[in-house]
Every structure is written in C-alpha cells, then in structure tokens.
C-alpha cells in the first residue's frame, strides 16, 4: 500500500493538524509507523494524551482499503511530507502540510513558481494589471500559483491558460469540492495544460472561510515570490502577503491611486517594505529573466475591413472591454459586436477572465 495512505489516515483524525503531524513525523520518520504505533509509543513522541487517544480510536473507524480505493477511483494523487517528491519550498515553512492531495502534475521544484493574489471584488484597473503581469509571467515560463477564487486569482490563472502554460490552483476545500463552482471549467483547463489542483484537506471537505488562511499559507509556501496586484486593507491577499514575509519570501505589490479603496492594501505593503513593481520587467528581475515581450509583428492576420483594422490597432496597446472600444471607435454597438464576434471566431481575438478583448498572439 502506498505510504501516503498512512498520512491520509492521519489527516482524517479529528484535531490532529499539520503541527501535531509534524511532531509525529519527525519522531517516527514514517507515517506507516505512526499508524502502527501503540498508545504508549505515540505518547513518546510528546503529543498530548487526547491526541494519542484520537489516533487509536480512528484506527478502529477508518478502513484504509476503502479509502485507497476511493482515492484511486477519483484519480486523486498524494505526496506526503516525508516523500522526496514533496515540493521543496513548501517543506521549508514552519507548518508544512503533512499531505498534499492533487490532480494533475505537481513538481518538487518550486524555483519558477510565483504567487499572484488579490481581491475577489476587483476593479478594471486590477484586472488589467493582473492580466498584463500574469501574461508576461506565463510567456516567460513562470508557474503562476493562486487560489482559484473569483477576481484576481481567476484572472491570473486564465492568463496561464491562454498561454497554454502551467499554473497551480490551491483550494480552501477538498479536491472533490471545487469552489467557486463557476470556476470548475477553469480547473479542467488548468489540468489540460499540465498544471495542478492542490489541497491539503481531505477530498470530501467542503469549502469554509476558516480554511482559507490555511490555503493562503500553502499558496505562499509553494512560491518563490508573491505578487499582490490589488487588495483593500482587509483581504485574504494581505494575509497571504504577511504569511509570505514570515516564510522569508519576496513580496511584490503593484501600487495604486492613494484614494482608490481597492489599492490601500497594496500601497500599505509597499510602505512596510514590499517591492513596488510598475511593469512585468520588475517582477522578472526577481527570477533573473529578461522579458520577451510579444511584438506587433506577431499579428499576421490582415484586417478584412476598416472596422477590423481599427479594433486590432487599439488592442495592440492593451486589452479593452466592448464598452471601452465602442466609446473610442464609435462604430455603433451592432457593428462593433459583429466585428468582434468574427475576429473571435477567426482566433484573432480572445477574451480574458474579466471579459475584455485582447489579441491572440499564439
């Protein structure tokens, strides 16, 4: 039986979390030995009597054969804290998960991982910056790590997907409860392009606000650096940033207008010492990468009419919504939508996570 199944067993024991599991793992050096240990042997590891009792009781109630069959049927993979394939950077934090469940491909090498996080209720400013930075990261083979939430997280993941690049989504729930449900399709696209959906929680555990801080520490722990693109004063993104600082990770932030409520968090981080980044080059410097910006010459499509030419010329500068395009071009909404639809069908344009149109340079 796979050694990780014994870590899975420990993960099912009530009130035995990552810290207590780490104590047991460091003492026994094997999750199988923890499972096989007697009550008296468990106490020698210095865990509390109640925790030792919980483990002994769980052995009577958990059928490992059935659990292993369930995990195999659901195609859920596992890697435990004592396994050589466990992500190296995550193992360095003070309370690494004893076990990671995942779909897809999860590498132990985290040297090219960058977390991009921000508020769910983002602005057009936040979406544009997230898209532009994440797009540059993906084009330069960095692996974007985020939380699959609405808003900034989804935008960052989508940029990787658009570039057919690997991205890692960390859940605040078990793998069998993708949340929000509206991002289920995105989760499948992540797997399609070699990424991973990851959780430290048992597969059947439903999402809960109390789980998100635990999720955020894994987002930061899997990453070499954390980029905050937009966040108010109170947000999960700031929690991730502070956890990253505790984990000795580089924290980067995109500044915003001082009177923009959604920028207060990022601006506050910069005041506390986070690196202010103004363009993708600033982030890529952290990874010793020189940006490979796509040039306009990559657009080989020849416009079929004046309207298409005007649309393409505007989108060469930056992604725009249909409303923004209409305000600038004044073509009439029906004419504009017809041309946008045709260009999308021809794969000249695509829409990002925020619904804006951008040139498809692939």
Transcribe 103-163 into DSSP letters. Answer: EE---S--TTEEEEEE-SS--HHHHHHHHHHHHHHHHTT-EEEE---TTHHHHHHHHHHHT
Mean of the per-residue pLDDT values for the chain?
Answer: 90
**pLDDT tens profile 236-269:** 888 899 899 889 899 999 998 887 788 888 898 9
Q: How far is CA 333 from CA 8, 125, 177, in A?
A: 55, 23, 40
Would the pLDDT of 352 be above 90?
A: no
**pLDDT tens profile 263-283:** 888 898 998 889 999 888 888
**pLDDT tens profile 282-326:** 888 888 876 544 444 456 788 888 888 888 888 887 788 888 888
What pLDDT is stored for residue 296 in this prediction? 42
Q: How far is CA 240 from CA 152, 233, 237, 250, 267, in A?
A: 13, 13, 5, 12, 15
Beta bridge partners of 104: 196
Those residues with Cβ within 8 angstroms of residue 210's Cβ, 6 or more apart along the chain or in another chain:
none
Please calculate the CA angle 307-310-315 and round it to the nearest 5 degrees: 125
The number of C-alpha atoms within 13 Å of 169 and in the hemisphere containing its C-beta is 36
Q: pTM for the full model?
A: 0.78
Which domains, and CATH codes, for the chain? 1-73 (1.10.150), 113-287 (3.40.50.450), 296-359 (1.10.10.10)
Q: Read off the pLDDT of each residue in 206-231 and give the average, rounded to a whole number.
A: 93
CB 215 within 8 A of CB 177: no
Question: What is the rounded distance in angstroms from the CA atom of residue 109 to the CA atom of residue 210?
Answer: 29
What pLDDT is stored for residue 298 in this prediction? 57
- In our burial notation (b when 16+ CB lie closer than 10 A, e otherwise), range 52-82 reads bebbeebeeeeeeeebeeebeeeebbbbbbb
Would the pLDDT of 149 be above 90?
A: yes
What pLDDT is stored for residue 299 in this prediction? 66
Percent of the chain exceeding pLDDT 70 equals: 96
Would the pLDDT of 1 be above 90?
A: no
Question: What is the rounded distance in angstroms from the CA atom of residue 90 to the CA atom of residue 37?
Answer: 27
The band of 347, judged by pLDDT with boundaries at 50, 70 and 90, is confident
């Amino acid at each position: 039986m796979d050694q990780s199944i014994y870590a899975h067993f420990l993960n099912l024991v009530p009130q035995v979390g990552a810290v207590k599991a780490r104590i047991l793992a460091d003492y026994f050096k094997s999750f199988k030995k923890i499972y096989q240990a007697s009550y008296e042997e468990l106490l020698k590891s210095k865990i509390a009597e109640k925790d030792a009792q919980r483990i002994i009781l769980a052995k009577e109630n958990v059928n490992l054969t059935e659990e292993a069959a369930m995990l195999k049927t659901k195609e859920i993979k596992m890697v435990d804290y004592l396994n050589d394939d466990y992500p190296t950077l995550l193992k360095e934090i003070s309370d690494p998960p004893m076990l990671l469940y995942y779909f897809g491909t999860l590498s132990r090498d985290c040297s090219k991982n960058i977390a991009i996080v921000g508020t769910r209720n983002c602005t057009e400013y936040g979406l544009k910056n997230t898209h532009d930075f994440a797009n540059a990261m993906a084009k330069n083979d960095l692996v974007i790590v985020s939380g699959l939430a609405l808003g900034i997280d989804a935008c960052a993941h989508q940029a990787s997907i658009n570039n057919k690049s690997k991205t890692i989504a960390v859940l605040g729930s078990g793998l069998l409860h993708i949340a929000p449900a509206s991002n289920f399709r995105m989760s499948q696209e992540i797997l399609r392009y070699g990424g991973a959906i990851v959780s430290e929680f048992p597969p059947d555990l439903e999402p809960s606000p109390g789980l998100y801080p635990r999720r955020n520490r894994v987002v930061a722990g899997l990453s070499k650096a954390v980029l905050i693109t937009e966040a108010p004063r109170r947000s999960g993104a700031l929690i991730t940033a502070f956890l990253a600082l505790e984990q000795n990770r580089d924290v980067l932030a995109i500044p915003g207008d001082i009177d923009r409520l959604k920028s207060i968090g990022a601006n506050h981080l910069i005041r506390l010492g986070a690196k202010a980044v103004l363009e993708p080059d600033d982030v890529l410097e952290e990874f010793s990468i020189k940006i490979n910006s796509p040039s306009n010459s990559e657009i080989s499509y020849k416009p079929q009419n004046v309207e298409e030419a005007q649309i393409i010329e505007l989108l060469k500068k930056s992604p725009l919504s249909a409303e923004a395009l209409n305000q600038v071009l004044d073509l009439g909404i029906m004419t504009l939508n017809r041309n946008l639809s045709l260009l999308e069908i021809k794969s000249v344009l695509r829409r990002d996570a925020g619904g804006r149109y951008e040139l498809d340079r692939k």
